[in-house]
Structure 1
């Protein structure tokens, strides 16, 4: 095995201009696409301390996105990203639990109708 194969690929990188404050950061998310980019952008933009949030796909043949966050009032962009990811996880769990409950209810009704 080559050394590159045994190394763990970085999933998240942080790109920040020299001298820039902590509230203005571009994150590079590897092996991601519009599915995460757009939903995460939506969750981050719900934060009133966020001035700008956007993402771009670098190239269709590359599976990575550039995710930019600019905050107001010195709030660190890393904390804003973490909150957005946690909020997205909570929303996804809620959708999953609601879906599973509805499937269970549907199956029970189908069984009752068959009797």
Structure 2
């Protein structure tokens, strides 16, 4: 769910269900690396609820598009880490069997 400022599409709060600090901190870090982002932070309203609020303010670009781009970049980083790990694991197994 997205909560936008009344007339400014460059500011939004995204409410994500079934997420915690793991995703929230990762996407916050990723978005803060984007030059279009002036502010990105997150909060967890209550520890009993699996919900995260991510607040995003951009330099003028649509917050929804910047958030989407950040999610895609984070996904690519995770795929790279997974691929690197799988390659290293295969190489390790090969050296142990030889």
Query: Shorter chain as normaliser: what TM range?
Result: over 0.9
- The alignment's TM-score, normalised by the length of structure 1, stands at 0.83
Structure-2 residue corresponding to 1:17: 5
- After TM superposition, give the deviation of residue 49 of structure 1 in Å: 1.2
Q: Tell me which residue corresponds to 1:3.
A: none
Structure 2, gaps ≥5 residues long: none
Q: TM-score, normalised by structure 2?
A: 0.97
Runs of 4+ in 1 over 6 A off after TM superposition: none
2:65 matched residue in structure 1: 79
1:41 to 17, 28, 32: 28
**Cα distance in 2, alignment partners of residues 33 and 58 from structure 1:** 11
Query: For 2:4 and 2:28, how far apart are their aligned partners in 1?
Result: 19
Number of aligned residue pairs:
98
Q: Unaligned stretches of 5+ in structure 1? A: 1-12
Q: What is the aligned-residue RMSD (CA, Å)?
A: 0.7
3-state SS of paired residue (1:36): helix
1:66 match: 53
Report 1 or 2 for greater relative contact order, CA contacts < 8 Å, sequence distance ≥ 6. 2
In our comparison, the structure showing a higher alpha carbon Rg is 1
Residue 111 of structure 1 and its aligned partner are, at CA, apart by 0.3
Aligned partners of 1:42 and 1:76: how far apart in 2? Answer: 19
